[in-house]
Structure 1
Amino acid sequence: MRHLKEGLGWRLGYDPDASVFKGLVGGDRWTVELTEAEFADFCRLTLQLADTVRSLANELMDEERICCEQETAHIWLEVEGLPTAFDLRFILLAGRRAEGGWTATATANIIQAIPALTLF
């Protein structure tokens, strides 16, 4: 991977020069390579979902949990938890199939890493 960010329980990578699978997402014991379109959708939807959950914080009672999802033709994503700490899950929808997810702590780190990693 040309650009790789990782921490406890998560991994995110991008290689603009790769022929097919330019993106990579992973956890402690798994990784999945993503096409450029899948990776772009993953990053965009992850940030959108995080913004949505945070924007709803004032509408929720303390300790009230929320679940939001979005999908494209390539990928489905879901966040679930508190507005300040939520898990992230994905399922690839086209071609090969894969799914994965992260804890709230790893999700927060992924959200911070996306802007530094994506160049599109």
Structure 2
Amino acid sequence: MIQEEGSGWRLSRDPSRPVFSVLIGGEHWALELKESEACELASLFADLTDQHRSICAQLMAEESISIELERGSWWVCLEGDRSRWTLRGICSGDGDQARGFEVCWPDPAAQAIAEAMRTLWDNSND
């Protein structure tokens, strides 16, 4: 079982749980994800933060950006400036039994959850 948390975020993964093995959370909310949903979200967050990192040097101090990605059932967005940003995601689900939900982490929790999810993604692909 992997369990991490900090101010304004939490992440837990328990592969022994049959359906919803990953828990993500914010300041006053939490929800359980299927392994496939969590891996897709972690991959998207990694792509967002990589894109942000690659264009940071081009941004002036007062400039802000919004980067959006959509893949599978997820839409995600990183909004902010060179050093401070938020993360938002919407999962629309697939099929008749699908769930829909929205997640959001403000700065600085966004950076922490993105890094924790990147670690989760990297470890699950080893």
Fold similarity call, TM over 0.5? yes
Matched, 1:87 2:86: yes
Is there any run of 5+ residues in structure 2 with no aligned partner, and where?
none
Number of the residue aligned with 2:120? 117
Distance (Å, rounded) in 2 between the aligned partners of 1:15 and 1:91: 23
- Percent of aligned positions with the same letter in both sequences? 36
* CA distance 1:81–1:3, change in 2 (3 Å): same
User: Letter of the aligned partner of 1:100 in structure 2?
Assistant: V
Calculate the aligned-residue CA RMSD, in Å: 1.3
Offset at 1:116? 3.5
**Residues paired across the two proteins, number:** 119
TM-score by length of 2: 0.87
Within-5 A mapping of 1:1-120: 2-94=1-93, 95-118=98-121, 119-120=123-124
TM-score by length of 1: 0.91
Equivalent pair of 2:43/2:118 in contact (CA under 8 Å): no
Compute the displacement of 1:63 (Å): 1.7
